[in-house]
Amino acid sequence: MRARICGQQELYVKEDSEVSMRCELSQGPHDLGTIFWYLGNVPVYTDQTSLQSVRQPRVSVHTEWVDGLKSTLHIARAKLTDSGNYTCMPTFGQSATINVHVVNGNFKISIIRLCSLPPPSIEPQKNDIYAHIICKIFI
């Protein structure tokens, strides 16, 4: 069994924005255990050491069983130091990796993966509001 991270393998986000990564492992004939997250080779620890972080944690993980094992790593207010290779490692099965780039500055990043014909049109938004488009392909 192999875990998979939904979406692209490269993720670009603006500093101070939110980042969510979802890892899925299909249901097998046995207990799937749990999923651990790593940044590089270091385990990702959630912010639950202070009262303020319990109310509004900057880093949180939510794991659930819904047609398999699913784990979402959420980072609020992304920092430059949050950049790197994130790996979701299931107790049983092969891991999956995503590379996250947190950028600062007043420039816009445009990465578009065309997944329909005709391709989607994207128009500039006011106040630097960004839209995230997710496409699914059914075969």
pLDDT digits (tens, 9 = 90+) for 61-74: 998 887 788 999 99
CA distance 16 to 6: 22
CA distance 8 to 4: 11
Q: Where are the domains of the chain?
A: 4-108
Q: pTM of whole model > 0.75? A: no
| CATH 2.60.40.10 for domain 4-108 | yes
Residue recorded with tokens 């969510």: 20
Q: pLDDT at position 36, please?
A: 94
CA distance 123 to 25: 35
| Model pLDDT for residues 8-18, shown as the tens digit of each residue | 889 999 999 99
